[in-house]
Amino acid sequence: MDYIHTVQYYETDKMGITHHSNYIRWMEEARIDFLAQNGWDYAKLEEKGIISPVLAVTCDYKRTTTFSDKVSICVSVKEFKGVKLHLSYDMKDEAGNIVCQGTSSHAFLNTEGRPIRMKQEQPELFESLCKLAEENNN
């Protein structure tokens, strides 16, 4: 299910257009929602001692959005092989036009900041992310 974000007034600039930095925030909102929808909300990850820092982000802006626009954000697992999680984001306006496309890459670390051997240490999360990657690539 897509994540829906309503553009807030404070997210716009003097020209009434959404400031470009907000799209990255929306990607984070959508990622958190995506993980929760798939049984891995951040509270659960943190309970298991997992942190997931952002390694990289890209945004390709296609069309502008303005105050009160509803933006639908579809998140999918682009790639996951156990070390890094690569996500893609398609953001569309209410008419179905692509307004922005983005990607983000994430690592999985323990609370001491050391990489987690996902398959051995977190097999449920590993299998879940592998399944989502497989579904997206079929």
> How would you write the pLDDT of the chain (138 residues) with one tens digit per residue?
899 999 999 999 999 999 999 999 999 999 999 999 999 999 999 999 999 999 999 999 999 999 999 999 999 999 998 889 999 999 999 999 999 999 999 999 999 999 999 999 999 999 999 999 998 877
Domain that holds residue 112: 3-136
CATH number for the domain harbouring residue 19: 3.10.129.10
Catalytic residues: 13
Question: Phi then psi for 56, rounded to 5 degrees?
Answer: -160, 155
Exposure of 87 in the CB half-sphere (CA atoms within 13 A): 25
In total, how many domains does the chain have?
A: 1
Question: Phi then psi for 129, rounded to 5 degrees?
Answer: -70, -35
Distances 95 to 26, 71, 114 between C-alpha atoms, Å? 19, 10, 44
Q: What is the CA radius of gyration of the chain?
A: 16
Q: Can you give the length of the chain in residues?
A: 138
**Pair 24, 57: CB distance under 8 Å:** yes
**pTM over 0.85, yes/no:** yes
